[in-house]
Structure 1
């Protein structure tokens, strides 16, 4: 499947959003456990 040039931007944004979500989820889980 061909991806337009802007696809790379959205892919990096999705990756960044995932990292933010993962960091937030980890902090929330640590706060819940302690």
Structure 2
């Protein structure tokens, strides 16, 4: 079973903020904390 996340641009935030928001959601993994 493969478990992976897909990197995407957030649709709620726009332009550069959307890219940063999508990257933050991709990198933030509460399980590792």
TM bucket by the smaller chain?
Answer: 0.3 to 0.5
Higher helix share: 1
Greater Cα radius of gyration, structure 1 or 2: 1
Larger relative CO (CA 8 A, sep 6+): 1 or 2? 2
TM-score of the superposed pair, with normalisation by structure 1: 0.41
